[in-house]
Amino acid sequence: MSADHDHAHPHAPADFNRAFAIGIVLNLVFVGIEAFYGWRVNSLALLADAGHNLSDVAGLVLAWGGALAVKLRPNARHTYGWKRATIVAALANALLLLVAMGGLAWEAVGRLFSDQVLLQEQGITIMVVAGVGIAVNTATALLFMRGRETDLNIRGAFMHMAADALVSAGVVVAGALTLWMGWTWLDPVVSLLIALVILLGTWGLFKQSLHLLFDGVPDSVDPKAVYDCLLALPGVIRVHDLHIWAMGTSHIALTAHLVMPQGYPDDAFLKRATNLLHDQFEIDHVTLQIMQTPFTPSCHEPG
């Protein structure tokens, strides 16, 4: 049997500790600014958005916790370590974002049917604070730009911040047009459109993180291609019990039974198979069991 557990592979996840720390501090400061000016100009919208941005801080804390959990060493009770915490954090981030957008839509519908009058002082203050929000959220999103394609947990943090930058931009544009043209209906309509756009983007994150949580094959891996790769190895006539799953948002594991009538191969064969799976599919943990005659029922074969 071959088991590869090399943690020092070249595709190891990047260290985002500094990005998380900066993002959390920036957003906490912005929450304080937004809450203060919301209280000063008696703006329920700003106070509500301050509460929403506080949930962003919680989302960043969740994502950071997941990233830190990956580095905890495995033990006898947790033999794979705590890598799955990144999947849980990504799912929690998606749920937070979905709830936040639901709250935004609810508030927008309420304002759409109200007779709210936007005073000039309130409008200017809201636009200025929202402008600061664009800068803060865009800067925070850029901190996670590098890892969003390869790590679902980092992607969740990026989407959370990018979504808020979009919301703040909508507030500025809608506020300016409302003050200029007197279109009081524009702000809630823009808010609903923004919530819909973010909902569509977040739904993919939610589905993917839920899929990985239940040991689904990561989207980056084609199980049929992996099966064909193993079957093409010298001496292999059948592949049994092929399982591929994500241990975390940036770690993939595989186990399989290889039927080889000529008997157990040497270490060079197993090393080649392990390196092949890593180089072609970025599978980090490979466990292969060799058998001359199959003695277990074959699981579903990809096809």
Amino acid at 283: I
Within a domain: 9: no
116 and 79 in a common domain: yes
109 and 67 in a common domain: yes
197 and 254 in a common domain: no
From 192, 213, 234, the end of a domain falls on 213
Q: Which residues sit opposite 96 in a β-bridge? A: none
270 and 196 in a common domain: no
244 and 186 in a common domain: no
H-helix or E-strand spanning residue 93 = helix 85-112
Per-residue pLDDT of the chain (303 residues; tens, 9 = 90+): 555 444 444 343 456 888 889 989 998 998 888 888 877 776 656 666 676 677 778 778 878 887 788 788 888 888 888 888 888 888 887 888 788 778 777 877 877 777 665 556 667 877 888 888 889 989 988 888 877 666 777 887 888 788 888 877 877 877 777 777 777 676 677 767 767 777 777 788 788 889 988 989 998 899 999 999 999 999 999 998 899 999 887 789 999 999 999 888 888 999 999 999 999 998 989 999 999 887 766 666 665
Q: What is the DSSP letter of 78?
A: -
Going by their DSSP bridges, the two strands 2-4 and 238-248 should be labelled as unpaired
Within a domain: 299: no
164 and 35 in a common domain: yes
Q: Which residue has the tokens 């200025």?
A: 128
Within a domain: 6: no
Give the number of other CB atoms < 10 A from CB of residue 138: 16
Within a domain: 131: yes
* Closest of 194, 147, 139, 193 to residue 166, by C-alpha: 194
Within a domain: 4: no
From 176, 194, 213, the end of a domain falls on 213
* pLDDT for the residue 206: 87
Rounded to whole angstroms, the Cα distance separating 190 from 169 reads: 10
CATH number of 231's domain: 3.30.300.30
191 and 43 in a common domain: yes
Within a domain: 115: yes
Within a domain: 1: no
Amino acid at 71: K
231 and 109 in a common domain: no
Cα angle for residues 95, 77, 248 (degrees, 5° grid): 35
Going by their DSSP bridges, the two strands 251-259 and 285-291 should be labelled as parallel
Predicted structure pTM score: 0.70
* pLDDT for the residue 120: 62
Task: Work out how many domains the chain is built from and give that number.
Answer: 2
Is the distance from CB of 177 to CB of 183 less than 8 angstroms?
yes
CATH number of 55's domain: 1.20.1510.10
39 and 177 in a common domain: yes
Going by their DSSP bridges, the two strands 251-259 and 2-4 should be labelled as unpaired
Rounded to whole angstroms, the Cα distance separating 253 from 232 reads: 20
Q: Which residues of 264-293 are buried (b: 16+ CB within 10 A; e: fewer)?
A: ebeeebbeebbebbbeebbbbbbebebbee
59 and 162 in a common domain: yes
Within a domain: 282: yes
From 156, 183, 213, the end of a domain falls on 213
Q: Tell me, rounded to whole angstroms, the distance of Cα 153 from its chain centroid.
A: 4
266 and 171 in a common domain: no
* pLDDT for the residue 187: 67
Range of 70's domain?
14-213
E strand intervals along the chain: 2-4, 238-248, 251-259, 285-291
159 and 240 in a common domain: no
